């Protein structure tokens, strides 16, 4: 992949030699290959959220359009991670996440495309860890593509940790003669970080091709495992974008993510301080994958007013956090051009159906006047 290459569907599922942007060529190690999994470049368009300060322009990059079952930000990381798995002659991929993990769903699908089996360790409540997890949202796709699902309670996850859990499963599968490749939570390691270093290059190229000279002052994105914000922040800092990156954390506190992102940057020998390249805001609310009624109402209002459907776990909380920040200090955002990166996760909405039902209501039984002629068989039901 080069700066001048144009991805096309003819390249889908092909392995390619990787060449980094010139401004990232000093980072080490540089990946040798990628697998083309995402539909790129994803579009950027104006996003007219109500209530923005005077002169403020909000734009949105639709990384929810990277595919269907492979949609969202995770697939950009998987392009690098799955290439390494294949290079290592793995026959099995292991990863871990929450019960409605978008990353696990994308990993299961990508593994299936590449003829690798997948094992997903999914975190759920203690009461549900011994029951069939069902077929809601991401679980439906994961189980359709044949992923092996291993349930773990939140209490066990908390006391053991994701690394020890994936290593335990890896050892078990190795004893069975498998060759497993482990991908961490969210695909967020130094190799996965290259996915959003590449996204920064993609944004650069998109802006260069515009006749209006558009340049962004700020980039806003959700933060759930840290890899996306590490890549886009480093890419913006090193490359031509030079936009201030704002990350809205949906689980752990900002201090945790500053330290975690620093580890990813150090793993690339980037030589930069995480606190210099990204501003992390706390947007977790009630906790990871838990929503307040105000957050869900916001998701509904955004969909009704702009047609953009946000997920409730990541981009919904990030956009809600952004609007709250703007409302608190509108002068600070006046006249700025902001790019919001939509990281996908539509399937997560299916897990919120009961909570959102009261927000709907725009339906009725159609009342057809008696004066309208009726004759059996006129209406064909295809």
Catalytic residues: 101
Residue 34, beta-bridge partner list? 16
Q: How far apart are CA 21 and CA 9, in angstroms?
A: 22
Euclidean distance between the first and the last CA atom of the chain, given in angstroms as a whole number: 46
Query: Mind giving me the DSSP string for 116-181?
Result: -EEEEEEEE-TTTTTS---SSTHHHHHHHTT-EEEEEEHHHHHHH-HHHHHHHHHHHHHHTT--EE
User: What 3-state class would DSSP assign to 327?
Assistant: helix
CA triple 284-233-27, angle to 5 deg: 135
| Dihedral of alpha carbons 193, 198, 202, 204, sign | positive
| Dihedral of alpha carbons 119, 125, 129, 132, sign | negative
Q: How far apart are CA 25 and CA 17, in angstroms?
A: 14
> Are 193 and 81 a contacting pair, CB within 8 Å?
no
């Amino acid at each position: 992949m080069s700066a001048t290459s144009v991805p096309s569907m003819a390249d889908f599922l092909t392995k390619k030699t990787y060449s980094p942007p010139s401004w990232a060529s000093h980072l080490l190690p540089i990946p040798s290959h990628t697998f083309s999994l995402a539909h790129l470049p994803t579009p950027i368009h104006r996003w007219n959220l109500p209530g923005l300060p005077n002169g403020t322009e909000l734009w949105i990059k639709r990384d929810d359009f990277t595919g269907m079952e492979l949609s969202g930000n995770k697939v950009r990381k998987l392009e690098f991670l799955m290439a390494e798995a294949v290079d290592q002659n793995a026959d099995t991929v292991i990863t871990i996440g929450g019960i409605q993990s978008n990353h696990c769903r994308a990993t299961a699908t990508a593994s299936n495309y590449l003829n690798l089996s997948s094992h997903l360790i999914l975190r759920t409540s203690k009461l549900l860890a011994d029951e069939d997890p069902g077929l809601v949202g991401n679980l439906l796709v994961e189980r359709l593509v044949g992923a092996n699902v291993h349930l773990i309670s939140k209490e066990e996850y908390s006391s053991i940790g994701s690394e020890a859990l994936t290593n335990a499963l890896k050892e078990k599968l190795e004893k069975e003669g498998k060759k497993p490749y482990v991908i961490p939570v969210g695909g967020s390691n130094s190799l996965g970080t290259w996915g959003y270093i590449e996204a920064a290059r993609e944004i650069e190229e998109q802006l260069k091709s515009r006749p209006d000279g558009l340049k962004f002052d700020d980039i806003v994105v959700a933060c759930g495992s840290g890899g996306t914000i590490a890549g886009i922040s480093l890419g913006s800092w090193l490359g031509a974008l030079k936009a201030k990156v704002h990350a809205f954390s949906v689980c752990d506190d900002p201090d945790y993510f500053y330290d975690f992102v620093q580890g990813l940057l150090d793993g690339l020998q980037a030589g930069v301080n995480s606190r210099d390249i990204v501003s992390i805001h706390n947007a977790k609310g009630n906790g990871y994958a838990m929503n307040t009624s105000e957050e869900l109402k916001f998701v509904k209002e955004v969909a009704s007013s702009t047609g953009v459907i946000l997920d409730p776990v990541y981009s919904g909380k990030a956009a809600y956090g952004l609007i709250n920040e703007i409302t608190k200090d509108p002068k600070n955002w006046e006249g700025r051009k902001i790019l919001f990166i939509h990281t996908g996760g539509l399937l997560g909405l299916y897990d919120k159906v009961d909570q959102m039902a009261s927000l709907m209501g725009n339906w009725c039984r159609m009342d057809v006047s008696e004066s309208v002629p009726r004759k059996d068989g006129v209406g064909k039901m295809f």
